[in-house]
Chains A and B, each alone.
Chain A
């Protein structure tokens, strides 16, 4: 089976801090990582490859340094890496991003299965996966928590719902977005790390994928950012004091509005 996984490089949330004085994001020492959900998508792709055969391609749209997440995916078992990078892609919203990814995937090959993380932790939109499936005219299933069966012509998956889960049977080609419950990603092997080091990453520009300049990047994006601002800060915290019994007493007093 030919599988492609769309991944994204994101800033590591644990390094992102709000400077309490200036109320701006302090980026000192912020590391870039592979979006956590995408690690699970890569892992699932590699597992399906291991049981059904085939190849796993990982693809990312981003600046040149995003190549690092492609190599990381290869060290965890992916076979090929594709970097879709062009200054013209900058500022893309989810609509322009799904257009760009669809053009890039069409330029790379034909895939029975496309995997994405549920969402990227920097934007948290969860819109690119469904948008990409629509552009490729494929059915899609979001928030997949388990692949029950990856068969010859179709697959059976569990999709997480707000009140439980749905069991869904769908024919290939299909796009799935995955949640972290689906698997535990492996740690790269030494062999994998060596392979990742030597891997040749394919580079694609806007011209290579025949993208319409009017549909990519900021000019191609239907949504525009009007302004960015820090969230309202929470009120002063109050540490309760006294013996445990006194503190519990005070807390119950504070919680009175919720006890009616």
Chain B
């Protein structure tokens, strides 16, 4: 619990300001803590005089951590293709493995994986554990989870990474629960603490308003899902060598309690906006569905994809998979162009890690301009056609 040394406390209120949960208040000159405390420790770090401390918070170490060695990444494979995040994970995995001086392994689960294993080696894997079986053609949480769990139990890697995709965010939490170990979601930064080799996992919380660095001190493996497009993949190097180990799944592992009756790929504009380099996003300010014709034209001119704010999705102008924001998707493209989006915090939470943000809005006071690198105030229906024409002209020349 949070211990407050009432003799030391000077009632300065810095802890109160730091608390993201409104759990600590200065009452009659002394800090007091309420029920909303999540023991995050932000106040302890902020207290210059050391009046605050967290006690009785350590999980006892029950396993021999030294038995666990090596870095693993789960390589997502669907409809005959590796997810690009899988290659990005090998990029960061390679770095972590070199720092820890341990091998980097990729786990490839699916059917008809052909040259995918060789591709994983070329992008940095020392070992590929390949589980290729017709029963694994379609993703199911229980079959993929059982295969992954049993491999981890057998080989004992110290770190397991997966993409924070629909698939990774679904079955990896089940795996971590079965393994009785910690899992950190949606990491944007991973590093090794030099002193003890622990994995420090940094992720945004509170819709990106605060960042938290998490560790998993007492259990192994240390597990994290990593946001797509944050880590950099290594160039494919055909000279790189690695070992490919084929593993036959057991009949029990392939028994599924869920039946995938049908797997439907969305028609229309590409929906996996988390993988896009460039997004052109439309909001309420488009006034009607036809506005998305312009949004699509601009996206096409930029070789980008189309996304939207919640208001546009709720109005029925574009399907939900395109929604960016707190109740939609979190994206981190190189370029994000917000058209007619006011910039409510729920929307900003989903796009503020884009490299460059452009905002076009008729309201000069719209909060979207606070996060934009470049802003234009004006009528979209006047600006967008000119912008499209100008970009096409540039591309043509």
Q: Which A residues fall within an 8 A CB radius of B?
A: 11, 13-14, 16-18, 22, 24-25, 27, 30, 36-37, 63-65, 87, 90-91, 93-95, 98, 121-131, 133-135, 139-143, 145, 156, 160-171, 179-181, 214, 217-231, 234-235, 237-240, 244-245, 247-249, 251-252, 254-256, 258-259
Q: A24-B17, A124-B186, A214-B60 are in contact. Are A244 and B257 (CB under 8 A)?
A: no
A198 CB to nearest B CB, Å: 25
Residues on A with C-beta less than 8 A from B383 are 244, 247-248
A27 to chain B: closest residue by CB = B22
In the complex, whether B335 has a CB less than 8 A from a CB of chain A is: yes
Q: Is the CB of A130 within 8 A of B56?
A: no
Chain B residues, CB < 8 A from A227: 41-42, 45, 212-213
Q: Which residue of B lies closest to A236 (CB)?
A: B373
- Chain B CB within 10 A, most for which of A127, A156, A238: A127
- A156 near B37 with CB under 8 A, answer no
Q: Are A244 and B386 also in contact (CB < 8 A) when A25-B20, A165-B264, A227-B212 are?
A: yes
Question: How far does the alpha carbon of A105 sit from the alpha carbon of B381 in the complex, in Å?
Answer: 54
Q: Shortest distance in angstroms between B207's beta carbon and chain A's nearest beta carbon?
A: 5
**A221 to B39, alpha carbons, bound, how many Å?**
11
User: Known: A36-B327, A90-B1, A234-B373. Is A18-B261 also a contact (CB below 8 A)?
Assistant: no
Docked-complex contact A168 and B185, CB < 8 angstroms: no
B258, A168: Cβ atoms closer than 8 Å: yes
The total of interchain contacts (Cβ-Cβ below 8 angstroms) comes to 304
Kindly list chain B residues whose C-beta atoms are within 8 Å of the C-beta of A217: 39
Q: Contact at B165–A226, with CB atoms within 8 Å? A: no
* B211 in contact (CB, < 8 A): yes
The CA-CA distance from A136 to B265 in the complex, in Å, is 32
A95 touches B177 (CB 8 A): yes
Question: Which B-chain residue is minimally distant from A123 (CB atoms)?
Answer: B205
Knowing A93-B182, A218-B39, A259-B391, the reply to whether A244 touches B378 (Cβ < 8 A) is: yes
Report the nearest A residue to B301, measured CB to CB: A259
Q: Shortest 9 CB-CB distances between A and B: which pairs?
A: A91-B39, A222-B182, A63-B35, A223-B182, A139-B257, A127-B173, A130-B173, A125-B185, A131-B177
Residues of A within 8 A of B213 (CB): 225-229
B214 within 8 A of A: yes
Q: Quick check: A130 and B264 within 8 Å, CB to CB?
A: no
Q: Which residues of A contact B204 (CB under 8 A)?
A: 124, 231
In the bound complex, do residue B78 and residue A163 qualify as a contact, i.e. CB atoms below 8 Å apart? yes
**Measured between alpha carbons, how far is A252 from B386 in the docked complex, in Å?**
10
Q: In the bound complex, what is the Cα–Cα distance between A218 and B37 (angstroms)?
A: 11
